[in-house]
Amino acid sequence: MTTPNSPAPANSPQDRLIVALDFPDAASALALTARVGPAIRWVKVGLELFIAEGPGIISTLAARGLNVFLDLKLHDIPNTVAGAVRTASSAGAGLLTLHAGGGPAMLQAAANAAAGLPNPPQLLAVTVLTSMDAPQLNAIGVSAPPAAQVARLASMAWTSGIRGFVCSAEEITSTHTAFPDATLVIPGIRPAGAAIGDQKRVATPASAIAAGASYLVVGRPITQAPDPAAATTAILREIASATK
Ligand code: C5P
């Protein structure tokens, strides 16, 4: 049995909050982490920051005591994805996304690659992107409604050995019911009264945790706040209120 880089979320609210570092360069990302300080333990590195800075950004963040959710949404042939799981692990990723749409062979190759590593990231399957509605799915040849497609892909990913999912707040209850042992990572979190921005299916930190979320991904409500540290404290308090 291997020990993942990412332990199961502890009860501490700080272990369940992931701040999305959606910045174009390391300087901006590190400035934000410095402003928030030790209140955060997890950050998300997505394509924008990763392409700008490369894997070195993961060790830079780790050197500041931060765990990294590497959100690269891998989708390629099984051999290539397995290799990417290995190098993401070496780089220090604690959580790593891949597209369930890559199919069972790709997912199994990723799960097998992780199982062979001393300190693997926890793999998270992305089912249907929240930007895909019924017409978008139809255009790529999927006639099933989005919810049915999400359920189909989640089940396939679980059977292929993937034990975590990224899903919207609306899907927490159904996913938690179907896969009670799965790690659920939830973006689209907005504290009560916060600007919704371009997000549609949003939830408050407390309601998402109460519904069964393992981790919450929060970007702009912290990164664009006039006082990011105060915004973080308020969200951590909300998480704590839901876990009592
Ligand atoms: O700023 P905001 O809190 O909306 O950021 C949410 C983060 O979660 C962003 O990095 C965004 O790309 C990501 N995300 C999302 N919705 C999904 C999947 C990922 O908002 N369905």
Q: Do residues 110 and 134 make contact, with C-beta atoms less than 8 angstroms apart?
A: no
Q: Among residues 198, 9, 27, 5, which one has the least CA distance to residue 85?
A: 5
Q: Pull the structure tokens for residue 195.
A: 């600007």
DSSP 19-84: EE---SSHHHHHHHHHHHGGG--EEEEEHHHHHHH-THHHHHHHHTT-EEEEEEEE-S-HHHHHHH
Return the pLDDT at 17: 98
Rounded Cα distance between 153 and 65, Å, is 34
CA-CA-CA-CA torsion sign (129, 22, 86, 111): negative
How confident is the prediction along the chain (244 residues), in pLDDT tens digits per residue? 344 565 555 679 999 999 999 999 999 999 999 999 999 999 999 999 999 999 999 999 999 999 999 999 999 999 999 999 999 999 999 999 999 999 999 999 999 999 999 999 999 999 999 888 999 999 999 999 988 999 999 999 999 999 999 998 989 999 999 999 999 999 999 997 778 888 777 899 999 999 999 999 999 999 999 999 999 999 999 999 998 7
Cα 226 to ligand 1 centroid, rounded to whole Å: 20
What fold, for 13-243?
TIM Barrel (3.20.20)
Q: Which of 72, 200, 217 to mutate to test the pocket of ligand 1 (most atoms within 8 A of CB)?
A: 217
Return the pLDDT at 5: 63
219 lines ligand 1 (CB under 6 A): yes
Cα 219 to ligand 1 centroid, rounded to whole Å: 7
Return the pLDDT at 6: 58
Query: Ligand 1, atom 10: nearest CA belongs to which residue?
Result: 20
Query: Ligand 1, atom 16: nearest CA belongs to which residue?
Result: 187
185 lines ligand 1 (CB under 6 A): no
* Residue 73 bears catalytic tag: yes
Return the pLDDT at 202: 82
> Domain locations in the chain?
13-243
Return the pLDDT at 193: 75
Return the pLDDT at 1: 34
* 14: DSSP letter: G
The pTM of the full predicted model, rounded to 2 decimals, is: 0.94
Catalytic residue (choose from 44, 73, 200, 244): 73
SS3 185: strand
- Other CB atoms within 10 Å distance of the CB of residue 99: 20
Q: Tell me the sheet residues that pair with 69.
A: 44, 95
Q: Do residues 82 and 111 make contact, with C-beta atoms less than 8 angstroms apart?
A: no
